[in-house]
Structure formats: C-alpha cells, structure tokens
Chain A
Amino acid sequence: AQSVAQPEDQVNVAEGNPLTVKCTYSVSGNPYLFWYVQYPNRGLQFLLKYITGDNLVKGSYGFEAEFNKSQTSFHLKKPSALVSDSALYFCAVRGRNFNKFYFGSGTKLNVKP
C-alpha cells in the first residue's frame, strides 16, 4: 500500500536558522514524491518533486528536498528560514495509479523572528 508519514505535527525554527520538515514514504515500485505548502485560507501550492535522478531536488522559494531510498525519506529543507515560510507543509507520493496521490497529515512550520 502507498502511504506517507509526517512524524511532526509542528516544527519551530528561529529566523535565519536552517529548517527540516520530515517525510517518510511507503510505496511499491518507483516513488514519485512531492512537497506542497498551504498558507491560511489558500489551497496547496506545489514546491518541488522527485521523479528520478539527483537525490537533491531544488524547488520554489529556496526550498530543497533530499531523497533517501535506503531510509525511504524525502525531507524538506531550507538553509535559512524566513518568517514568511510559516505555513502548513504536506508531503505526497503518487501511487501506481497515475491519478492517485497520497498525502501526509501536514506539518505546521513556525518561524519566529
């Protein structure tokens, strides 16, 4: 079965510090992995995706994610957090059915000045 786990409900980071939002996945076959961000009263916005190739994927707003096959993880990272990065972050994996995506429960990122 395909699934995604985000073990942290909330992550607190000081502005300027590096941030990591964790995601682990379970999928049969090749994983296609995504990160989305949701700001208040908005829909989800795509940040980045891993399909194949380089394990370090760069995305929007300075975010990047590292794919680790042995640990079945796809953690979201940013070298220097901004207050404006405060939002809800979702990890997702696409299943073998091209139309089906599995999302985690979300991690709330709080970046304090």
Chain B
Amino acid sequence: ETGVTQTPRHLVMGMTNKKSLKCEQHLGHNAMYWYKQSAKKPLELMFVYNFKEQTENNSVPSRFSPECPNSSHLFLHLHTLQPEDSALYLCASSQQTGLAGVDEQFFGPGTRLTVL
C-alpha cells in the first residue's frame, strides 16, 4: 500500500444528498491533492493544499468543497451533485521541496462515486 487511504471506497448518492470523501496520508507529506478520473480522459486536478493552505482550485464547481484540517487529512464535501460528476476521485500526497527537488505523488485507491 502507498500510505494514502481513502474512505469510502464506493459511494452512491442522489443529486440532493450531502456526503463527504475522506483522505488520510501516513507519509508525513506537506501537500495533498484531489483529482477526478473519468474514463479515457486525463486526470483532472481539482484542488491542492500545501501546509494546510489551498494553493490551487482548478475552476471546480462550488458543489465540491474541500477541507484540509491538518497536513494529514483532506476532505471533499459534496452537495447537489450532477450525474456527470460520477467518476473515480483520487487523493494524493507529496513532499514539496521547491527547487531543491521534485518529488512524486503517492495516490490513494480512490472513491468510486455514482450520482443518480
């Protein structure tokens, strides 16, 4: 395992529901990411947090709301989603060292989300 866990692994929700995805990394990294993976499309970066501060919001609709209470935990709060939001949501972490190095990302197994 990569040291990044995600819960739940599968989620089915209606368009009016509110749910949250959870990610936890046990690697001591300082950056965490949310990605959306849809079939035959590039991974879409959604949000980036560095030292608990959001540093990137890739024009994500407001029905997706991230939260990073500390460097080890990342949440994605979902409300009034659309069927086209059905996808695999991946969390990742990395150690950002700036110009000193370029570190790879470690990914969780993902949450398979289905919006009815």
Q: Taking beta carbons and an 8 Å cutoff, which residues of A are in contact with B?
A: 4, 9, 32, 34, 36, 41-46, 49, 51, 90, 92, 94, 97-106
Contacts and interface: CB of A to CB of B under 8 A. Distances in A.
Given A45-B2, A94-B102, A98-B98, A103 B43 contact: yes
Interface of B: 2, 4, 6, 31, 33, 35, 40-43, 45, 48, 50, 55-56, 90, 92, 96, 98, 101-102, 104-110
Contact of A100 (B42, B45, B101, B102): B45
A99 B107 contact: no
List the 3 closest A-B pairs by CB distance, nearest first: A43-B107, A103-B43, A46-B104
B98 A45 contact: no
Contacts, number: 60
A4 to B, nearest CB: 7
Contacts of A4: 42
B107 to A, nearest CB: 3
Contact of A102 (B4, B31, B42): B42
Given A43-B4, A43-B110, A44-B90, A101 B105 contact: yes
Given A46-B104, A97-B56, 8 more contacts: A43-B90, A43-B109, A43-B110, A49-B104, A99-B31, A99-B50, A100-B45, A106-B40
